[in-house]
Structure 1
């Protein structure tokens, strides 16, 4: 019988090389489970031994893997039903694929989030924006409930521009039919912050420039032209660190990046939780700890 291994449940091989290198460096055995919707699951057959790490992405449908999330739901329930150790299990998957679920969980943990209206068609998006503007919100942002990579994220400073956008082919329907209209939170400086966590421990924070928009995937495979988007916030500690740690513990999230905005008037507004977090190589080169190496060590310890 082979020794137990870490099994990485995901769907995008392009994001995998930094993790493979980290597991190799730490001497931790790892196997990829690529869930792209084509494999069957026999619920009566026990899974292999080992530790299972789910890093399924909410943006999987953008790579042609429209069934991957449903497939992962079934696989994680199967693993948990047989008592296997699952990191970022079935409950965490539901946070990954729903910003509504993230918002509710963050609010319950006492974390401030943007004012948000949930909409189910184009007219409701416009109506939601009108309601926010009427209540004093100067600019709004649209986004997809099942997002990742900044899907559907656009800023609108006037309702006319939003109305024209909604009437055009530029509007992209959310894959789950759920859109969000949020207040645009103006940062004190032109960046947002992402705090990285592994195993209930804060690793480091990075700044992500918003100068080129909101497509802020930090992985090397997501690199855009126009210069570096990410830099280490050396010595920065999230102002809401204790609340973030409590939120992660209560939600059962063991590996994640949490994104927030620090505003000119002193607010700290949290807007996203990434449970399939990727790491930027430029930041990793100068960070006090390596995200992939810390993951490999943490999962290796669970073996």
Structure 2
């Protein structure tokens, strides 16, 4: 049965701005829904949740906004929902992949798909030794990341050794990190492929200035032709970050690989990022996202509004 006032669609989210276009679209349609703030929440393990569907929009970068308490809590609440038979979009399995870059590397390895050579550590002192046999530059990344938080690049063994020894490496809130070969991206760009219902929705290419790891698609402020984008899904004071974007449809082989990744991860709505190595021309997947806030001003970039299609999907799944 469709969503009702008694059993609405629930949108579990933490970021105050990213999902405003979805809220607006559901309100326009008159679809019954509720917003559930992830940072201040409670549930009764003995009570059945009163929702037709829960859409999990919890972000692993929440700790950057003072809401790190919700990251681990979310796993138990998703478990509660699923054990009570509630339809969850991007449920417990998807969230486990979203919140661990180490798990993402394991998944890519299991599928036999290309990814940067990586070591996993649980203490900063291990970073230098873990890089043995890897090609420099090296990137050290927190396991639970988001928005490029905590990622550092090292161009020589000497600089990585010093960081390993002086305690300056920050592995994030779970003290797990990735020591990974840094891939110089062809033309300084990355490609993000979005899926809806596990199937290809659209692709974009983001051109970076080379000095940032924060590639949030909703924060991109310009098309490649210089046209300014309307970033209604982001905070009004979001920085002009010099990122440029264009719509792009990857080769069918890569689309198929992305869909395999998402199927294995249990991610219904999300994006996979890859880059092409400027040294060998090969593509490498490096990030799997269950949280997708879509590209800014999508009609200008990809020719349609993905939030409308997302609303269609949620309504259909709630039935």
Same fold (TM over 0.5): yes
Give the secondary structure class of the aligned counterpart of 1:65. coil
2:10–2:54 contact (8 Å) kept in structure 1: yes
Aligned length: 297
- Rounded Cα–Cα distance in structure 2 between residues aligned with 1:19 and 1:237: 29
TM-superposed deviation, 1:238: 6.0
Moved more, 4-13 or 18-27: 18-27
Contact 1:206 1:230 in 2 (8 A): no
**1:92-112 deviations in whole A, cap 9, x for unaligned?**
111111001111112222321
1:287 to 302, 305, 317: 302
Matched, 1:126 2:128: yes
Q: Tell me the CA shift for residue 41 of structure 1.
A: 1.6
Q: Is the 8 A contact 1:26 1:296 kept in 2?
A: no
Contact 1:232 1:283 in 2 (8 A): no
Q: CA deviation at 1:25?
A: 4.0
User: Residues of 1 paired with 2:168 and 2:125: CA distance?
Assistant: 15
- Matches of 1:2 and 1:280, distance apart in 2: 31
Give the match for residue 198 of structure 2.
200
Query: Which of 277-286 and 8-17 deviates more?
Result: 277-286
Cα separation, 1, equivalents of 2:74 and 2:83: 14
Distance 2:203 2:173 in 1: 30
The alignment yields a C-alpha RMSD, in angstroms, of: 2.1
Check the 8 A contact 2:187/2:207 in 1, yes or no.
no
What is the aligned partner in structure 2 of residue 275 from structure 1?
A: 290
CA deviations over 1:58-113 (Å, ceiling 9, x no partner): 11111111210222112111111110101100111111110011111122223211
- Structure 2: gaps (5+ residues): 220-233
2:80 to 75, 78, 81: 78
Counterpart position of 1:298: 313
> Which residues in structure 2 correspond to 1:216-231 (within 5 Å)?
216-220=215-219, 221=234, 223-227=238-242, 229-231=243-245
Task: Indicate the residue corresponding to 1:177 in structure 2.
Answer: 175
- How many angstroms does 1:166 deviate by? 4.1
Q: Whole-Å Cα distance in 1 between the matches of residues 252 and 11 of structure 2?
A: 29
Asked if 2 retains the 8 angstrom alpha-carbon contact of 1:230 and 1:283, the reply is no
Counterparts of 1:271 and 1:77 in 2: how far apart (Å)? 27
Matched, 1:259 2:273: yes
Partner residue of 2:21 out of 18, 21, 29: 18
Secondary structure (helix, strand or coil) at the match of 1:250 reads helix
Secondary structure of the residue aligned to 1:215 is: coil
